[in-house]
Structure 1
Amino acid sequence: MDTGSANLTHHFLIAMPNMADPHFARTLTYIAEHSDQGALGLIINRPLDMTLETLFERVELPLEADGFAGQPVYFGGPVQTDRGFVLHRPAGDWHSTLRVNDDIALTSSRDILQSIGSSGEPQEVLISLGYAGWTAGQLEDELAQNAWLTVPADLGIIFDLPPEERLVAAMQKLGVDFAKLSEVAGHA
């Protein structure tokens, strides 16, 4: 699983101010998997104009558990935007789950939505449509071009903060003020 550089599984990618791709400008992306085959993540600070209540209606599942109906659905990235992905803790045991570590997992199977709707488990979820994906070496190339800053992920940022505060909180973990970042990057 040598990526030729640091493994960024369970890290945040912070889009630099010069990010030209509108899908990723001013985003905070959680990396759920990074290997020599590529990387997979979810943008965690871009809510869509859709709530979980609306999503559950569209997929024809009951949402009986309290506290979920008004939660936003997120734009997770430009890949497979018609498919849902659930970032959650605890990791649990679902049909199609990528266990990031003992605390957090990414699930794309319907059974987790059924559980959320009926029993409210898992309680801490971020549900997105689409994901961000990189082919082998692509993320490393973007990092070399100064497109991203990286920082170890903090589950409190994902699950405890509103989306508009997540990017700033991740930047603060680096001791950097986003407003002071230059759009021009260089190499020493």
Structure 2
Amino acid sequence: MSRGDGAGGSGSYLDGQLLVAMPGMADNRFARSVIYLCAHSEEGAMGIVVNRPARKVTFSDLLVQLDVIKAEETIQLPATAGAVQVLKGGPVETGRGFVLHSNDFFIDNSTLPIDSRVSLTATIDILRAIARGAGPDRALLALGYSGWSAGQLEAEMQDNGWLNIPADPSLIFDEALGSKYERALRMVGIDPARLSSDLGHA
């Protein structure tokens, strides 16, 4: 699947943008997915699906499972912790948690600023901070991530598998997961109802 043709060598990397699955997406696991791209280079890419809920698990459940809090303390969690959604970030390392969050929170040597508005932290320290009410203003927890080897994402985009669009934090962190796909397309003037699998190259 990988063609190794790079990103064109012109610095056209897509970190901090959204990938929206097109009808031509060959991999059913990513049908109607919206992915926030955290890293993209000639070596490959990594992103988090932001519109797929993790089934039967809440943020407070995970805090208890990871011994961040005791079960009887869940009732004392701040409202900001209760608002953190748990998502299926992708098929790679599904037992690992990745927190996408607003840039008002930073841990030295742990937090990766992706753009001026969104960062990624993958240590338990951010979960402890959120449980204390000292975490970021906006956050989501993804279980697993989506990854591409060198040239693979570029090849999928050339095959009309993905459309890249500017990221909007209000869309990334919005709790209305079911409408994110349609809203992402409308942000660039595409009517989802008129999208077809024979969409031509733009």
CA contact (8 A) 1:53 1:70 kept: no
CA contact (8 A) 2:25 2:160 kept: no
SS in 2 for 1:86: strand
What displacement does 1:102 show? Answer: 2.7
SS in 2 for 1:73: strand
**CA spacing shift, 1:124–1:3, aligned 2, 3 Å:** same
Q: Distance in 2 between matches of 1:67 and 1:40?
A: 27
SS in 2 for 1:48: coil
Q: Distance in 1 between matches of 2:34 and 2:174?
A: 15
What displacement does 1:70 show? Answer: 5.8
* 2:7 paired residue among 3, 9, 15: 3
**CA spacing shift, 1:146–1:110, aligned 2, 3 Å:** same
Q: Distance in 1 between matches of 2:200 and 2:115?
A: 34
Of the structure 1 ranges 125-134 and 14-23, higher mean CA displacement relative to structure 2 is found in 14-23
Q: Distance in 2 between matches of 1:115 and 1:125?
A: 12
> Counterpart amino acid of 2:95?
D
SS in 1 for 2:14: coil
* 1:81 paired residue among 86, 94, 97: 94
* 1:92 paired residue among 99, 105, 114: 105
Q: Does residue 18 of structure 2 align to residue 12 of structure 1?
A: yes
Aligned to 2:128: 114
Q: Does residue 31 of structure 2 align to residue 25 of structure 1?
A: yes
The normalised TM-score by structure 2 is: 0.85
> Counterpart amino acid of 2:68?
L
Aligned to 1:123: 137
Q: Distance in 2 between matches of 1:45 and 1:78?
A: 14
Aligned to 2:171: 157
Q: Distance in 2 between matches of 1:134 and 1:59?
A: 29
**Superposed, which structure 2 residues align to 1:37-52 within 5 Å?**
37-49=43-55, 50-52=57-59
**Paired residue total:** 187
Higher relative contact order (CA 8 A, sep 6+): 2
- List runs of 5+ in structure 2 lacking aligned partners: 1-5
* 1:168 paired residue among 182, 195, 198: 182
Q: Distance in 2 between matches of 1:187 and 1:122?
A: 39
What displacement does 1:182 show? Answer: 1.1
**CA spacing shift, 1:147–1:115, aligned 2, 3 Å:** same
SS in 2 for 1:33: strand
What displacement does 1:126 show? Answer: 1.0
* 1:61 paired residue among 59, 68, 72: 68
* 1:144 paired residue among 158, 173, 176: 158
What displacement does 1:161 show? Answer: 4.9
What displacement does 1:33 show? Answer: 1.1
**CA spacing shift, 1:55–1:130, aligned 2, 3 Å:** same
- RMSD (Å) for aligned C-alpha atoms: 1.9
Higher gyration radius (CA) = 2
**Superposed, which structure 2 residues align to 1:169-184 within 5 Å?**
169-184=183-198
- List runs of 5+ in structure 1 lacking aligned partners: none
What displacement does 1:27 show? Answer: 0.6
CA contact (8 A) 1:13 1:31 kept: yes
